[in-house]
Amino acid sequence: MTLARRDDVADPVLPYGTTDLLAGLDASATVALETRYGNGDLITILQTLGVGGPLRVETPWELRDEKGRHLIHAAGYAALPFGESYPPLLDFVRAFTERSRELALPQQSAASWRAALEANLVALLAHFAPSHADSRVVFANSGAEAIEAAIKMARAARPGTHQFINFTAGYHGKTHGALALTPNSDYQTPFLPLTPKTITLPFGDLEALEAALRRYGKDVAAIVVEPVQGEGGVITPPEGFLAGLGEAARRHGVLVVADEIQTGLGRTGAWFASIDAGLEPDIVTLAKPLGGGLVPVGATIARNEIFRAMLAGFGSKNHSSTFAGGSLAMAVGLRSLEILREEGLVSKAREDGRYALERLRAIQTRYPNFIEEVRGAGMLFGIKLRPVIGELPFGTRRLLPFDDATLQQLAGVLGLRALHLGGVHACVSLNSFRTVRLTPALNLPRPLLDEMLRRTEDVARRHRRAWTMLPRLPLTRLVRLARMSS
């Protein structure tokens, strides 16, 4: 076979144009293209479950699926503080693109939008943790990438160390370094060995932490901790754990990275969940809500001496990324922080979160065979479903084409399906298969919050027992899922 050379061929044809897309591509064509050219198996799994969309936005908080079903938007994995396409943010982006004449990707010059977001993030952090008054910021294009920067900074600041302490069910992303800190064997095994090395401890166990620090502290660069484990299924550590962690780290000279990518900027009802719980971290990572649900923005904020251990002098190019700190992303980050503040969304998240958690807990007590437990922190809710096996009617287990482990994993996605069919767009938990999460916008209007809760209760009432989600999925679809799991 000979390859086409420049001189032999005309310019390639691009089969799809933006004009077609603005006019709208129909749902089945969209699914066919994704299945053929993208992560097709994921799309097939979602389609098999009946939740694969595509979904259209009606208001920032309401969606419509391809069958015309109305959905309250409670997914977005905590990255949508204002819902989808929030008009005040879009208006600002329009003004920005019309008026700003700064470089889009100012890698080799100072830039006002980046400068202002750096200053605002440090001011914000120092407002709650004054020891961060002289901290510095490096930007990224995702949460995982913000974690990568934190890993490098911690290692540079503690030369000679090469281990990190992390916690069971923690989630820090899936790039190679971040994956090393995410102790989930499904995600890690194909890529072993991973670096950095980790010592994985039970989340919330101060004694285990103290023992590990005594034994390995000299070789540990940092403890990386989520103040509330989001992907772990919304797990809040015991009272005093985070404050004790900070104190123990200081005694042993080990740094603390607070991964606030999911919890930070209001989601849990505080600007910084770690600081609110009494932990003063050395490095803070942010991402999801900083991009206003519109553009990817990650940030790693660190004390001056830690930052400069990685980025100083001619070494100030030791870490960089072409797109990080781009002007549009910075502008959206600035406006997102402003909207959070102007609309009082952090305290609203705290109050609405308390209200909704109480109501979800009441639903759990009414339907304990469907929901095992409800957990929450601000507007981050985890609904842990009962296992779908163990309670199956006698004789039916052997009819199902799955091994036990796969069946257990199905509880979460079946929950996702049940909620979708009931009109709530929810998210799974990447490190807790039986937990479905609701991560609605922080500015979700109260009537829609009530409607989301009412629909969630309807789903529980309709099922009553978790295993009844299984026979509601047609057998052919179950078989297709079983084939994909093997």
Ligand X SMILES: Cc1ncc(COP(=O)(O)O)c(C=O)c1O
Nearest CB to ligand X, comparing residues 172 and 425? 172
Question: What is each CA distance from 97 to 60, 93, 120, 180, 331, in whole angstroms?
Answer: 22, 6, 21, 39, 10
By C-beta, is 147 or 213 nearer to ligand X?
147
Among 81, 173, 217, 281, binds ligand X (CB under 6 A): 173
Q: Are 338 and 330 in contact (CB under 8 A)?
A: no
Kindly tell me the burial class for residue 364, based on how many C-beta atoms sit within 10 Å of its own C-beta (0-12, 13-18, 19 or more): middle
> Least CB distance from residue 140 to ligand X, whole Å?
9
Tell the smallest beta-carbon distance from residue 327 to ligand X (Å): 20
DSSP reduced 3-state for 376:
strand
> Which of 65, 148, 259, 352 is the binder for ligand X (CB under 6 A)?
259
How many Cβ atoms from other residues are within 10 Å of residue 159's Cβ? Answer: 9
Which CB, 225 or 360, lies closer to ligand X?
Answer: 225
DSSP 45-86: HHHHHT-----EEEETTEEE-TT--EEEE--STT--TT-SS-
Per CB under 6 A, does 65 bind ligand X?
no
Please say which residue, 231 or 282, places its beta carbon nearer to ligand X. Answer: 231
Confirm or reject binding of residue 262 to ligand X (CB under 6 A). yes
Q: How far is the CB of 256 from ligand X (least distance, A)?
A: 15
Q: Within positions 223 to 242, which residues make up the interface with ligand X, using CB under 6 A? A: 226, 230-231
Beta carbon nearer to ligand X, 181 or 473: 181
Please calculate the CA angle 127-104-317 and round it to the nearest 5 degrees: 70
Q: How far is the CB of 231 from ligand X (least distance, A)?
A: 5
CA dist., res. 251 & res. 356, Å (int): 39
C-alpha–C-alpha distance, residues 353 and 375, integer Å:
11
Nearer to ligand X, 34 or 148 (CB): 148
Considering the complex, what minimum distance in angstroms separates the CB of residue 310 from ligand X?
19
Shortest distance, CB of residue 285 to ligand X, whole angstroms? 7
Identify which of 339, 355, 406, 446 has the alpha carbon closest to the alpha carbon of residue 80.
339
Instruction: Respond yes or no on whether the N-terminal peptide bond of residue 183 is cis (omega within 30° of 0).
Output: no
Q: Which is nearer to ligand X, 439 or 468 (CB)?
A: 439
Number of residues that bind ligand X (CB under 6 A): 15
Residues numbered 94 to 153 that lie near ligand X (CB under 6 A) are 142-144, 147
CB of 235 to ligand X, least distance (A): 12
Minimum gap (Å) between residue 228 Cβ and ligand X = 9
Residue 349's alpha-carbon distances to 261, 287, 353, in angstroms, are 16, 18, 5
Residue 144 or 357 having the CB closest to ligand X: 144
Closest contact distance (angstroms) between CB of 471 and ligand X is: 32
State which residue, 267 or 335, has the beta carbon closest to ligand X.
267
429 secondary structure, DSSP code: -
Using CB under 6 A as the binding rule, the residues of this chain from 442 to 461 that contact ligand X are none
Q: Which stretch binds ligand X (CB under 6 A): 171-179, 189-197, 454-462, 475-483?
A: 171-179
Does residue number 261 form part of the binding site for ligand X (CB under 6 A)? yes
Give least dist CB 97 to ligand X, A. 24
Burial 10-38 (b: 16+ CB within 10 A, else e): eeeeeeeeeeeeeeeeebeebbeebbeee
Min CB(270)–ligand X separation in Å: 15
Q: Return the residue of 117, 287, 301, 363 that touches ligand X, per CB under 6 A.
A: 287
Collapsing DSSP to helix, strand or coil, 427 comes out as: strand
Task: Considering the complex, state which of residue 161 and residue 285 has its C-beta at the smaller distance from ligand X.
Answer: 285
Which DSSP symbol is given to 343?
T
Nearer residue to ligand X within complex by CB, 407 or 430: 430
**Least CB distance from residue 416 to ligand X, whole Å?**
16
Residue 338 has a CB neighbour count (10 Å cut-off) of 14
Q: How far is the CB of 201 from ligand X (least distance, A)?
A: 17
Sheet strands (E) in 335-408: 371-377, 380-385
Question: Which x/- pattern over 15-54 shows residues binding ligand X (rule: CB under 6 A)?
Answer: ----------------------------------------
DSSP-derived secondary structure letter, 436: E
Query: By beta-carbon distance, which residue lies closest to ligand X?
Result: 143
CA distances from 80 to 174, 404, 421, 431 (A): 20, 35, 22, 20
In eight-state DSSP terms, residue 229 is B
**Nearer residue to ligand X within complex by CB, 146 or 339:** 146
- Give the DSSP H or E segment for 13: none
Contact criterion met (CB below 8 Å) for 477 and 47? no
The pattern of x and - marking residues 317 through 356 that bind ligand X according to CB under 6 A reads: ----------------------------------------
Alpha-carbon distance 240 to 204, whole Å? 9
On whether the CB atoms of residues 419 and 426 are closer than 8 A, the answer is yes
Nearer of residues 171 and 367 to ligand X, judged by Cβ: 171
Which residues are at the interface with ligand X (CB under 6 A)?
A: 77, 142-144, 147, 171-173, 226, 230-231, 259, 261-262, 287
